[in-house]
Amino acid sequence: MIRKFKKWLLEHFLPMWAKETVLADNRRLLEEVKDLRQQLERKDAYIAGLEVGIRAQRRIIINTGEGKK
């Protein structure tokens, strides 16, 4: 409902140059959001890989003999 009203408002009351500016800004911002989402997905995959790698490491237990008294 609000999208339809916003579209109607843009089409009927804004001058042509303002409408084109708004639409161009929206396209630019949508592209920027797309790029940022791709970066976030890549970083999330990197973090998940690090977590798996850390969990897969062998545990080192050092026995100092302090518990045998």
Nearest residue to 6 via CA among 21, 19, 17, 16:
19
- Looking up tokens 């609000």 gives 2
Nearest residue to 7 via CA among 17, 24, 22:
22
Which pLDDT belongs to residue 56? 87
Q: The pTM is what?
A: 0.60
- Looking up tokens 């973090």 gives 47
> How much is the average pLDDT of 27-48?
97
Which pLDDT belongs to residue 68? 60
